Structure formats: C-alpha cells, structure tokens
Amino acid sequence: MGYAAFFAVSMILVSSVAMATDHIVGDDDGWTLDFDYTQWAQDRVFRVGDNLVFIYDNISHNVFKVNGTMFKDCTNPPANEALSSGHDIIPLKTGGRKWYICGVDDHCAREMKLVINVQGEGSPSPAPSPAHG
C-alpha cells in the first residue's frame, strides 16, 4: 500500500474514532432521583461507538441494563448484575433500544430510568424537526 493510500485509510479510522461521544447521563446532575431522563435523552443522538457514562452516589444508587419489559415493570435483574462503581462507562456496541434502571428501593418507579435508541453504524442522522412559524 502506498503512502497516500495508507494516509487516507488512517484519516478515516481516526475520524471515526474521534467522532465517538461520551454521554454523561443527566449531565451535571448525574444519575439521581428527581431528574427527567426522558427529556434529557430526547434531543441527543446515540451512535454505536459512543459511551454512556453513569456518575452517581454508589451508596444510594446503582445501574442495571434491562430489557423493555423489565424497564416498564421496574423489575430488577439478579443483584450481581448491578453496576455499582459510581462511575460506570457503558460502551454502545450495537444499535437499537437500550434500557437502564436504578435497582435501589423504589427509584425506578420514581422515574430513575433511561431508555435510548442507538443508531447503528452507517445510520443517517435524524432529520432536523421542521421550524414552526
């Protein structure tokens, strides 16, 4: 492979890695009670290769990755599946819907839960919503 071809391939690889985003769940508030995670996720674009970063008080909260039914019903998986470091980084490796809940007490029922839709590799960006006026 010539230098020019190697350089072109290298730039493509670097640009695709550079585009990965770390999404701090809840921004400055983090993973906590009394926060609207549906609103938080609404205007964000999640892509394969991005990371979800859950930052929270690990004495008071945890994170479970669940399926849609468990999310809706606030059903916790086995306790040993909890993420509980207080700074959990979850790589988004596949496209599709992803569901997360806090498994402590009634936190999920109190809306401490997050659902996102991850765009697969090569998915087009969503079209901007039309302007009103």
Q: What is the pLDDT of residues 17-29, one digit of tens each?
A: 557 899 999 999 9
Q: What is the DSSP code (8-state) at residue 129?
A: P
Of 67, 72, 40, give the one whose Cα is nearest residue 53. Answer: 40
Q: What percent of the chain has pLDDT over 90?
A: 74
Query: What token pair was written down for 110?
Result: 């109190």
Q: Are 115 and 70 in contact (CB under 8 A)?
A: no
pLDDT, position 10: 46
Residue range 9-23: average pLDDT?
Answer: 62
Q: What's the one-letter identity of residue 14?
A: V
Compute how many other C-beta atoms are within 10 angstroms of the C-beta atom of residue 82: 19
Cα separation of 116 and 95, whole Å? 10
Q: Are 95 and 124 in contact (CB under 8 A)?
A: no
Write down the residue that tokens 């809706």 correspond to: 72
pLDDT, position 38: 96
Q: Are 64 and 82 in contact (CB under 8 A)?
A: yes
pLDDT, position 124: 52
pLDDT, position 6: 44
Of 28, 52, 55, give the one whose Cα is nearest residue 117. Answer: 52
Q: Are 63 and 100 in contact (CB under 8 A)?
A: yes
List domains and CATH numbers for the chain: 21-119 (2.60.40.420)
pTM of the model: 0.79
Cα separation of 28 and 6, whole Å? 41
